[in-house]
Amino acid sequence: MRRSPDAGPAAALAGTAPASPQPGVPPAVAGLTSVVVVSHRSAATLERCLEAVLSSSAAVEVIVVDNGSDDGSAALAGELLAREPCLQLVRNPDNRGFAAACNQGAAIARGDALLLLNPDAFLPADAIARLRRHLGHDPRIGLLGCAVLDATGREHGPQRRREPTLARSLVSLLRLHRWAGCEGIEAPAAAGDDGRPETVDAVNGSVMLVDLALYRRLGGMDERFLLHAEDLDLCRRVREAGRTVARAGDVAVVHLGGVSGRRRPFWVEWQKSRSLWRYFRKHYPDAGAALGIAVGTGLALRLAARVPFLVARRLLARR
């Protein structure tokens, strides 16, 4: 396990120089990656997630922010804290939301890079070091994601996201992206692979490495997004700040997905739809009324279509 910064090439984070800290902000430690894991009813996967991070070949500190878990997640993190000096635990009395918890962790982070990691994502030991090398080789990159796989090794969730304009969102909601000339949110894989990260508009939000100084300049995540779309919003603001968002396809992470929300699937689906609508209202306030109504209707229909599936899954789980 590597828990202290080294001076090797992977320690250099291009575009980020340890600057004089702002009042109340700890000084950046060159080569140290601050890993923030937000837990909420994540006991089923949290220990495995943290053990994987603590086995990293790169120097790390781990900050667990628990959002009012009632399943022993915080207690589990506390047990690890007793024997892992690089681990910190922040306990919230209730669920403040993913964005707010990430910002809490970033506020006390000491590294020069910030890794935002879901509690049901499992990193290979060399993942952080390899992601940092990519950042070190291209100073234009402000935020970097990776290939996200399910337990069987297949791509899981969004991989190469385009900016979710209202038109693209409508195409994806209606599944028209399969038609020639219809461009949805998810972009196809690029032809060929030269080993360099591919530039995208947004990455899978379960694993995101970001220049911590940039993250703080942007004010962190928008806490008005309680759940979902906060990653899309962050990626957009990174691009608006003049930096690029990229996906390192040669770094793969297993992500189970949905562990924290299994006990409240209807609430999760509602928050997802609500956050997507908030994103559109924030970034496309001047969009035509007809297109806005169409997307809003599409989101409502998507939510309605998911309800029978969620009911059936719950009934089957009880048998």
CATH of the domain at 74: 3.90.550.10
Number of domains composing the chain: 2
pLDDT in tens, 88-117: 999 999 999 999 999 999 999 999 999 999
- Which H or E run includes 13? none
- The answer to whether residues 91 and 214 belong to one domain is yes
- Strand partners of residue 218: none
Residue 219 or residue 78, greater confidence:
219
Q: For residue 154, is it within any domain? A: yes
Which residue, among 23, 52, 53, has the nearest Cα to 36 in the 3D structure?
A: 53
Q: Is the domain of 86 the same as that of 203?
A: yes
Using the predicted structure, report yes or no on whether residue 12 has a pLDDT greater than 50: no
Judge whether 84 and 2 are in contact, CB under 8 Å: no
pLDDT at residue 66 tops 90: yes
Question: Residue 18's pLDDT is what?
Answer: 39
SS3 content of the chain, % helix, strand, coil (to 5): 40, 20, 40
Q: Of 228, 255, 282, which residue sits at a domain end?
A: 255
Same domain as 285, residue 205: no
In the chain, pLDDT over 70 holds for what percent of residues? 77
Based on the fold, state whether residues 274 and 225 are members of the same structural domain.
no
Same domain as 240, residue 118: yes
- Spatial separation of the C-alpha atoms in residues 263 and 319, rounded to whole Å: 16
Whether residues 242 and 276 fall in one domain: no
Same domain, 167 and 306: no
pLDDT for the residue numbered 246: 97
Instruction: Indicate if 44 and 99 belong to the same structural domain.
Output: yes
**What pTM value is reported for the model?**
0.83
What pLDDT band is residue 313 in, cutting at 50, 70 and 90? low
CB 231 within 8 A of CB 97: no
Report how far apart, in Å, the C-alpha atoms of 168 and of each of 40, 182, 280, 295 are.
Answer: 32, 8, 12, 10
Whether 226 is covered by a domain: the verdict is yes
Give the residue numbers spanning the domain of 81. Answer: 9-255
Q: How confident is the model at residue 253 (pLDDT cuts 50, 70, 90)?
A: very high
Do 176 and 220 sit in the same domain of this protein? yes
